[in-house]
Chain A
Amino acid sequence: MKTLGRILIILMVFAALSALMVVGVNASGVSASSFRGEGGEFRPGGEGFPPGFQPGADGNRVRPEGFEEHSERGEGRGGISGLMFGAVRNIFVIALLVTLIVWPRSVARKKRKMDAVKPAITEG
């Protein structure tokens, strides 16, 4: 019962934040399908398609650059080697952040310990 209440609290906060986000994005107007990104990026639903473009047709899906259909089937940069590439890049980012934060802290802690020991030695 207690756990159920806690789950409900988490879900309620999640739902409230979600509602705020949907309202916020809709109110800002950028979610309109005719949205144009910087550099006049083209998206379907805009004022016109380039000649030969059929929205929704194969090869004309709206994807960020490099997100190609065939990758989903494990070809190209997909598959095991692709997974390795993406995962290695992301693990590298996390490892870099961990090193940048943990290492200076551990050096500072060691220095503090040494400083605490030094007076004891000179006093002795």
Chain B
Amino acid sequence: MSDEVARNTPVQTKTKLWLDLLIFAAFLVTMDPRSSGIAIHEWLSLAMLAALILHLLLSWDWIVSISQRFLGKLGTQNRVNYILNWLLFIDGTLLIVSGVMISEVAMPFFGIRLPEGFAWRRLHDMSANLGLLMLGLHTALHWGWIVNTFSRYLVQPVVRLFSAKQKKDAAI
């Protein structure tokens, strides 16, 4: 996230890191329903909706701040991120709506039967592929944050743990 918006606390940043890793892994599983099976595909992607809401809640200050300044003076990186995030949200909505329309497990489980429509299948496939590309862009635009946070909260603690152990062993 940019310096133009208030920084997160370490706990919030760590929560973001684990949540983003979880969403990323879940996205990869849902992108391949042939391997996971339709049931896992449908329930996991519906559960991802809750994770994505949390993802947005953790970036709420950024969303409000950029929304207010979007038409005024704003850095290119923030502007591009903001537009891409909206496109991701719209594509994600289409993905879930079309998924619900062609659902074979989750909707019948709730007793809901929707009419067959091949267009929804096409839209589902198309929005999934588009989502993959946009997630690639989203990841690229946050690469600095990902590398820094990974290093600070995952790599460095492990390195510190080993060097402390080595020092202790050397002292004995």
- Closest chain B residue to A73 by CB distance? B37
**Interface set, chain B 1-55, CB cutoff 8 A to A:** 28-29, 31-32, 34-38, 53
Contacts of B140 in A (CB 8 A): 97-98, 100-102
A86 at the interface (CB under 8 A from B): yes
- Assembly CA distance A32 to B115 (angstroms): 9
- Contact indicator A45/B53 (Cβ below 8 Å): no
Complex interface: stretch among B120-128, B149-157, B162-170:
B120-128
- Contact indicator B143/A83 (Cβ below 8 Å): no
25 A-B residue pairs with Cβ-Cβ distance under 8 Å, sorted by A, are A6-B57, A10-B57, A17-B89, A17-B93, A21-B98, A22-B101, A32-B117, A33-B118, A64-B121, A78-B37, A79-B35, A86-B32, A86-B35, A87-B28, A87-B29, A87-B32, A87-B35, A90-B28, A90-B32, A93-B133, A97-B140, A100-B140, A101-B140, A101-B141, A102-B143
* Given known A-B contacts A97-B136, A101-B141, A17 and B119 have beta carbons under 8 A apart: no
- Assembly CA distance A52 to B141 (angstroms): 53
A7 at the interface (CB under 8 A from B): yes
* Given known A-B contacts A25-B120, A45-B116, A94 and B139 have beta carbons under 8 A apart: yes
- Contact indicator A30/B57 (Cβ below 8 Å): no
Q: Give min CB distance, B17 to chain A, whole Å.
A: 17
Contacts of A41 in B (CB 8 A): 118
**Interface set, chain B 82-122, CB cutoff 8 A to A:** 89-90, 93-94, 96-98, 101, 115-122
Number of residues on chain B facing chain A (CB within 8 A)? 40
Other than A6-B56, A25-B123, A33-B115, give 5 A-B pairs with Cβ distance below 8 A: A10-B57, A32-B117, A62-B118, A91-B28, A96-B136
- Contact indicator A98/B143 (Cβ below 8 Å): yes
- Contact indicator A74/B37 (Cβ below 8 Å): yes
- Contact indicator A35/B118 (Cβ below 8 Å): yes
Interface range on chain A: under 10, 10 to 19, 20 to 34, or 35 or more?
Answer: 35 or more
- Assembly CA distance A37 to B117 (angstroms): 12
Contacts of B74 in A (CB 8 A): none
- Closest chain A residue to B94 by CB distance? A21
**Which A residues are closer than 8 A to B by beta carbons?**
3, 6-7, 10-11, 13-14, 17-18, 21-22, 25, 28, 30-33, 35, 37, 41, 43-45, 62, 64, 66-67, 71-74, 77-79, 82-83, 85-87, 90-91, 93-94, 96-98, 100-102
- Assembly CA distance A97 to B129 (angstroms): 14
Contacts of B32 in A (CB 8 A): 82-83, 85-87, 90
Most chain B CB within a 10 A radius of its CB, from A45, A74, A86: A86
B60 at the interface (CB under 8 A from A): yes
B159 at the interface (CB under 8 A from A): no
